[in-house]
Amino acid sequence: MVSWIISRLVVLIFGTLYPAYSSYKAVKSKDVKEYVKWMMYWIIFALFTTAETMTDIFLCWLPFYYELKIAFVVWLLSPYTKGSSVLYRKFVHPTLSSKEKEIDDYLCQAKDKSYDALVHFGRKGLNVAATAAVTAAAKVSHLLKIITYWEFTDGKGQGALSERLRSFSMQDLSSIQREGPVSGPMPSRSSSTNPRARTTTRSNSESASSKACVHCAHCSAVSASS
């Protein structure tokens, strides 16, 4: 863990920040020699960073792996060893010179293919977005129609619902009457809701009770005289 932290600090400070500042000084002073020197270093350092990504995964278990990385960065930067210049002149420059045309053709093909793929996916994305927008607009329009319909038919809908519930209740009462006898007469709906019918029924019951009482008294008097 300590070796990993030290190697990260060395690569960050001495392998990145210091060469970046030296490159700035070379560009500012317009010194061609220094400019070429640091350009060669950045090419080698780019290759080193690419290789480091893979070696950190598969070779980090080797003994002194991080110490070797620190030594390699110091060797690249040292003005005595000039490691970056040696690697560039002996290996990188000859290889790139022999493969330069093939690399340029591959980059041009990759650029054209990436542009075509970008245009294709862009059109596909626009079609999907347009379809989604049309579908959403249709759903919103349908929802607005439903809301408008309920706003205009709110009173009628409530009246129809109450009449429906009332018919269901009357059907339940008629089914109860058919299922079994009920002790006492069931009050009709018209008599409970009409005050005149209620008064007439009450007067008829009172007259019937008075006649029954007179008849009973007459019967008792007849039976006594006999």
Give Cβ neighbours of residue 187 (< 8 Å, ≥ 6 apart). none
Q: What are phi and psi of 187, to 5 degrees?
A: -65, 135
Average pLDDT over residues 37-66: 89
pLDDT above 90 covers a percentage of the chain that reads 20
pLDDT, tens digit, for every residue of 71-129?
A: 999 999 888 888 999 999 999 999 988 988 888 888 888 888 887 787 877 888 888 88
Residue 194: the pLDDT is 46
Residue 44: the pLDDT is 94
Dihedral Cα 29, 30, 33, 35, nearest 10 deg: 90
| Mean pLDDT of all residues belonging to the chain | 74
Average pLDDT over residues 152-161: 54
pTM of the model: 0.52
Residue 221: the pLDDT is 46
Residue 59: pLDDT band with limits 50, 70, 90? confident
